[in-house]
Amino acid sequence: MTNRLLSAQSTEAVLNAIDDIEHIRQVNMSGENLPATINSGPAKGMSNNHTERQIIHVGQQEVELHCLVGAFYIELEVDDKDMLEATVDKIKAACDEHIKDGYSLEIGRYSKYRPSLTDYRSA
pLDDT value at position 109?
Answer: 81
* pLDDT for 1 beyond 70: yes
Report, as an integer, the average pLDDT of 49-62.
93
- Do the beta carbons of residue 18 and residue 74 sit within 8 Å? yes
How much is the CA Rg of the chain, to the nearest whole Å? 17
Q: Where do the structural domains in the chain lie, given as residue ranges? A: 8-98
Report, as an integer, the average pLDDT of 62-78.
94
pLDDT value at position 122?
Answer: 67
pTM of structure: 0.83
pLDDT digits (tens, 9 = 90+) for 71-114: 999 999 999 999 999 999 999 999 999 999 999 999 988 777 77
Cα separation of 91 and 100, whole Å?
A: 15
pLDDT mean across residues, the chain: 91
Report, as an integer, the average pLDDT of 10-28.
95
Beta bridge partners of 69: 31
Banded model confidence at residue 123, pLDDT cuts 50, 70, 90: low
Cα separation of 65 and 53, whole Å?
A: 6
Closest CA relative to residue 111, chosen from 8, 18, 28: 28
Cα separation of 21 and 72, whole Å?
A: 15
* pLDDT cut 90: percent of the chain above it: 77
